[in-house]
Amino acid sequence: MNTSMKPDSPVQHKVVKNLIEAHSWLGLIISPLLFLVFWAGAVTLFHDEIAQWAITPHHPVDNTQADIPLAKLVEQKLAEYPVDQAGRFRINMPTELVPYYIFYFDVFGDTPQSDRQSMAILVDPKSGETVAGKDDFYLSQFIYRLHYNLDLPGGSYLIGVVTLIFLFALVSGIFIHARKLLKHFFLYRVDKQRRDKLLDLHTVVGVMTIPFTLMYALSGLILNLAIVFQLAFVVFIYQGDRQALFNDAGFNRTSEPRSETSLDMSNAFTLIEQTKQQSNFELRNIIFHHYGADNALVQVRGTDTVNFAQRDEVTYRVQDGTVMDKVNADNYNVFRQGRDVLVTLHFSNFAGLDIRILYFILAMAISAMIVTGNMLWINKRSAQRQSSQRSIAIVTAMTIGGCGGIIVATAVGFLCERLLPATLSGRSEWLVGCFVTSLLLVMLCSIKVTDIKRHLSQLLLLTSGILIITIVADWLLFSEQIIALWQSGYHGVIGIQVGMMLVTAVCLLTANKLGVSPRSQPAMVKNITPANG
């Protein structure tokens, strides 16, 4: 990759040259996973809107009815399922976007010898019915998991390593272009050769997104490699006391065994209501420990609506209302506050829809920067006679097939989420299978590509077609429900449709731009043919 920096000495020249090589090769190695992280992260910014789009047309909530009291609802679900009450279970509150209670608990198997199994269900707050398992509508959760752990065991550590390498590539890029960072801040040479345009696009996007990418690289690194930082904190700050670290971080759990003496739990719901009525407190979820026993605890967790990145938690002993633990703005904890700030910045939870749209645009720009970085490498290697044509073909397939395949597979995921029957057994596995299959097919079709622009154009047109089919299917299957949801104040369904239409428009415009000028294919496109040696 070329640089605009002109070192004054041979030493500086060698340092910059080494940085360029490291920047290029490391960026090339992590590019498919890094693209997936930013692409999935951009979509995950609208996680709850996607969940509403997927679920509510199948199971609309009737807002003309009153909510069932939470105490009655809990007792009803505990009677319906063989819940292991010796441990704990959690209830997430309904929100404006996802209007269902989400119950998380462990249940016993069909036989006494069966192991306990984790279960998560969606419950209608008006009717009390269990409308679905949480993972029956898996798309939003699947994309989120792709973002932070590839939906694979141990994937979070792999993503953490990728983030670490990305941080180095980001810092090295700053050093490479440091001298003309401000002078050429907005330089984009539209009248120059294609390589200059790619280099300018890569550099301009990289420079303009520096604060955003630095924040994401640092916060993502810490969140994904938390175990490394935990070890350091335990050894150097907490003198080996791991439980003290977990308590400060907000992961403390009760360790006392369940009492055999039963207890009426009505006081727990009184305590919940009292906490809920406090000013500047927005209830998020509730955790019960040893429900129904006289040593039962209830943990009420919410968001401070005034202070930035502040989560409030209070744990009561149900029997007498004693406060066992409390965390709020007045009870400040540096460790937990730092973690909450990172999470808030990383997921843009500190503002409204406008900030999430800005994050989305920036994430998409970085995704484009990743692709252009690979194209620059391909251009440079193609111009060198001694370069291996096989390696160039592999990188081309990895860039076009991997990155383009992720885009197509995401569109396929949306289509499957809409068309797969809600009662289909193993629905989430079907969705994941369709996503992975479409990704692999695109990668296979990209192995022997000789006309990159045309192939990219075809992939974008395919993505547009799939999204259009998804929108049409929405209205053919659920037109009445979508209109009723809009009138009831649930705008996420149509909001996601508008987002799909905008993405379709961008794909069509880009495909048209790529197909406008077939007269002059770059040398690297003409020369990329699979080689035997």
- Is 284:302 a contact under the CB 8 Å cutoff? yes
Distances (CA, A) of 282 to 202, 346, 487: 42, 21, 25
Is beta strand 88-92 parallel, antiparallel or unpaired with respect to 101-107?
antiparallel
Task: Identify the CA nearest to 309 among candidates 287, 325, 286, 332.
Answer: 332
pLDDT at 523: 40
In the prediction, which pLDDT does 397 show? Answer: 78
Query: How far is the CA of 302 from the CAs of 216, 277, 278, in angstroms?
Result: 25, 12, 11
Q: Could you tell me if 531 and 393 are in contact, meaning their C-beta atoms sit under 8 angstroms apart?
A: yes
A 10 A CB-CB count for 394 gives: 13
Domain ranges of the chain: 70-136, 384-533
Q: What DSSP character marks residue 68?
A: P
Stated pTM of the model: 0.84
Q: Are 396 and 376 in contact (CB under 8 A)?
A: no
- pLDDT at site 180: 64
Angle between helices 353-382 and 194-208 (to 10 degrees): 140
Are the CB atoms for 138 and 428 separated by under 8 Å?
Answer: yes
Angle (CA) 41 44 45, round 5°: 95
Burial of 236: CB neighbours in 10 Å, binned 0-12, 13-18, 19+: exposed
Residuewise pLDDT in 10s, the chain (533 residues): 444 444 456 766 677 777 777 777 787 888 889 999 999 999 999 999 999 999 999 999 988 899 999 999 999 999 999 888 888 899 999 999 999 999 999 988 766 556 778 899 999 999 999 999 999 999 999 999 999 889 888 888 888 888 888 888 888 877 776 666 656 555 555 555 555 666 666 677 777 778 888 888 888 877 777 655 565 555 556 666 666 666 665 555 556 788 889 999 999 999 999 999 987 889 999 999 999 999 999 999 999 888 888 888 999 999 999 999 888 877 777 777 777 888 888 888 887 888 899 999 989 988 888 888 877 777 777 777 666 777 777 777 777 888 899 999 999 999 999 999 999 999 999 999 999 999 999 998 888 777 878 888 999 999 999 999 999 999 999 999 999 999 999 999 999 999 999 999 999 998 888 765 434 344 434 443 333 33
Distance CA 219, CA 224 (A): 8
